C-alpha cells in the first residue's frame, strides 16, 4: 500500500491516446460562458489536449480578488464538454466542492497547492472520494515538503482512487527569482524515484508566473519524463480575472505543443546503449573518486579542529573562508563550472566541516 502501486497509467485515462503528449488546458478561472465556450472550442482543435481545466472556486491570497463564479461555471463546463468532447477538470478544496463537481459529471478533480498543504482538508476530501470512479490530480504543496505531497497522495490512494497523479507546480520562493514558484526539480525527481508507477504532470504556468517561460519549462519537464502538462489558456490573457500574466492563448498553446520534443526514457538501439553504459561507468568511477577526496578532506578538517582546540582558536575564521571562496570560485569557473553551483557546493562543504569541528571542539563538554 505504501508504494502507490496498481495505479492506472495516464495513457489509459483517455479513450483516445495517440502515444504523444497529454495536455490538460483551459483558463485559470471560468469567467463567463462565452470565455469557457471560446476556449474549449479552440482547444478541441489541438490533438494533444485531452481535458479542459477551469477554476470554479479560487483560493485567493487577498479577499478582494476574484474568487470564482461558483456552481454556474460548472453548467458552462458541462455544455463545453457536450460541444467539444473534452473531459473536464476542476479544482476542489472541500467536500462541498466535490459534491458539486460530481453532480455535474466532472471527470477529474485537482487539489490545489494550498489545499494540499493542509492534511485535514485533504483527508476530508479523501473520505468523500472513497470508491468514487474519478481521476484525482494532486498538486505539490506550497512549500518544498515532499512528505506532505506524498502524504496527500497516500490519503487519496487509500480511498481507492486508481486514476491518481501528482502535479508539479513549483514551490513558494523565499528569495527573489525569475519564476513565480521555484521548480525544485530535485523534488520531482525524488518523487518519481520513490514511486515509479505514479503518473506525474507538470504545470509550467504556475511555476512560471509569466507566459514567456512556459515553453522552456514545458520542455524541461518533458525531459524529466513527466507524463503530461497542465497549461493555462485564455482567449485574451491580458483581460483574465486571475493569473493574467501567465496565461497563453489556445493558438499559442498549439504552436508550443507542436514544438515540444517528447524524448524516450530509453532506447533499444544497441550502439546508444553501449555508449550510454560507457559514459555511466566513467561517471561512477569519478563519483567514487570524488567521495574519496571529500572523505580525505574531512579527515584533515578533524585534525585542524583538534589543533584549534589545543590552541584555543575559534572554529570560524572569516578571512580563511573568504579566501577559500575567492580562490575556489576562480579555479572552478576556469574549469567551466557555474558560479552558483560552486557557491552551493562550497557552502555545503563548509557547513559540514564546521559541524565536524564543533563536534570535536565541544567533546567532553557534557552536552550534545
Q: Residues in the site for ligand PEP, rule: CB under 6 A?
A: 28, 55, 91, 112-113, 139, 169, 203, 206
Please tell me the distance from the alpha carbon of residue 339 to that of residue 182, in angstroms, as a whole number: 19
Phi, psi (degrees; rounded to nearest 5) at 282: -60, -45
Residue number of the CB atom closest to ligand PEP: 112
The binder of 228, among Mn ion, ligand PEP, none, by C-beta within 5 to 8 A per type, is: none
Pairing type for strands 108-111 and 135-139 reads: parallel
Q: What, of Mn ion, ligand PEP, none, does residue 141 touch, CB below 5 to 8 Å by kind?
A: none
Q: How far apart are CA 358 and CA 305, in angstroms?
A: 8
Report the residue number, 249 or 304, with the smaller CB distance to ligand PEP: 249
| DSSP single-letter state for residue 182 | B
Closest CB to Mn ion belongs to which residue? 28
Least distance to Mn ion, CB of residue 164, Å:
22
Q: Nearest distance from residue 206's CB to ligand PEP, in Å?
A: 4
For residue 28, state whether it binds Mn ion (rule: CB under 5 A): yes
Question: Closest Cα partner for 187 from 228, 145, 157, 218?
Answer: 145
Find out whether 248 and 289 touch, Cβ atoms under 8 Å: no
Closest CA to 230 of 112, 134, 148, 145: 112
Residue 192 partner contact from ligand PEP, Mn ion, none using kind-dependent CB cut-offs of 5 to 8 Å: none
169 binds, among Mn ion, ligand PEP, none (CB under 5 to 8 A by kind): ligand PEP
- Contact region with Mn ion (CB under 5 A), list: 27-35, 45-53, 184-192, 284-292: 27-35
Selected range binding Mn ion among 41-49, 121-129, 242-250, 342-350, rule: CB under 5 A:
242-250
Options 107, 154, 227, 243; binder of Mn ion; rule CB under 5 A: 243
In the complex with ligand PEP, the residue whose CB is nearer, 42 or 240, is 240
Length of the chain: 368
**Stretch in the footprint of Mn ion (CB under 5 A) among 209-217, 243-251, 296-304, 326-334:** 243-251
For the beta carbon of residue 316, count every other beta carbon within 10 angstroms: 10
Following CA atoms 14, 81, 205, 113 in sequence, which dihedral angle do they give, to the nearest 10 degrees?
-80
Distance CA 44, CA 37 (A): 10
* Shortest distance (Å) from residue 59 CB to ligand PEP: 7
| Residue ranges in contact with Mn ion by CB under 5 A | 28, 243
Amino acid at each position: 500500500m505504501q508504494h502507490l502501486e496498481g495505479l492506472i497509467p495516464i495513457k489509459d485515462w483517455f479513450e483516445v491516446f495517440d502515444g504523444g503528449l497529454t495536455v490538460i488546458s483551459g483558463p485559470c478561472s471560468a469567467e463567463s460562458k462565452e470565455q469557457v465556450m471560446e476556449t474549449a472550442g479552440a482547444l478541441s482543435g489541438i490533438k494533444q489536449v485531452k481535458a479542459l481545466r477551469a477554476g470554479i472556486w479560487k483560493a485567493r491570497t487577498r479577499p478582494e480578488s476574484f474568487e470564482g463564479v461558483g456552481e454556474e461555471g460548472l453548467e458552462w463546463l458541462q455544455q463545453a464538454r457536450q460541444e467539444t468532447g473534452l473531459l473536464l477538470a476542476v479544482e476542489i478544496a472541500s467536500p462541498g466542492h466535490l459534491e458539486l463537481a460530481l453532480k455535474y459529471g466532472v471527470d477529474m478533480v485537482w487539489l490545489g497547492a494550498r489545499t494540499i498543504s493542509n492534511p485535514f482538508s485533504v483527508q476530508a476530501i479523501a473520505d468523500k472520494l472513497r470508491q468514487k470512479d474519478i481521476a484525482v490530480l494532486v498538486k505539490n504543496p506550497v512549500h518544498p515538503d515532499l512528505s506532505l505531497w506524498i502524504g496527500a497522495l497516500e490519503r487519496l490512494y487509500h480511498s481507492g482512487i486508481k486514476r491518481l497523479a501528482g502535479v508539479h507546480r513549483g514551490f513558494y520562493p523565499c528569495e527573489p527569482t525569475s519564476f513565480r514558484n521555484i521548480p525544485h526539480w530535485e523534488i520531482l525527481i525524488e518523487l518519481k524515484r520513490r514511486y515509479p508507477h505514479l503518473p506525474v504532470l507538470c504545470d509550467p504556468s504556475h511555476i512560471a508566473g509569466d507566459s514567456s517561460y512556459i515553453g522552456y519549462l514545458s520542455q524541461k519537464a518533458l525531459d524529466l519524463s513527466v507524463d503530461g502538462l497542465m497549461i493555462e489558456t485564455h482567449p485574451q490573457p491580458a483581460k483574465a480575472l486571475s493569473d493574467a500574466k501567465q496565461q497563453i492563448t489556445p493558438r499559442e498553446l498549439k504552436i508550443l505543443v507542436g514544438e515540444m520534443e517528447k524524448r524516450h526514457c530509453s532506447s533499444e538501439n544497441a550502439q546508444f546503449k553501449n555508449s550510454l553504459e560507457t559514459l555511466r561507468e566513467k561517471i561512477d568511477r569519478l563519483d567514487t573518486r570524488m567521495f574519496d577526496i571529500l572523505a580525505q578532506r574531512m579527515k584533515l578538517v578533524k585534525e585542524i579542529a583538534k589543533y584549534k582546540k589545543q590552541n584555543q582558536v575559534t572554529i570560524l575564521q572569516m578571512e580563511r573562508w573568504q579566501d577559500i571562496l575567492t580562490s575556489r570560485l576562480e579555479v572552478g569557473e576556469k574549469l567551466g563550472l557555474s558560479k552558483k553551483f560552486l557557491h552551493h557546493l562550497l557552502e555545503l562543504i563548509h557547513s559540514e566541516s564546521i559541524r565536524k569541528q564543533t563536534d570535536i571542539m565541544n567533546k567532553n563538554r557534557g552536552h550534545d
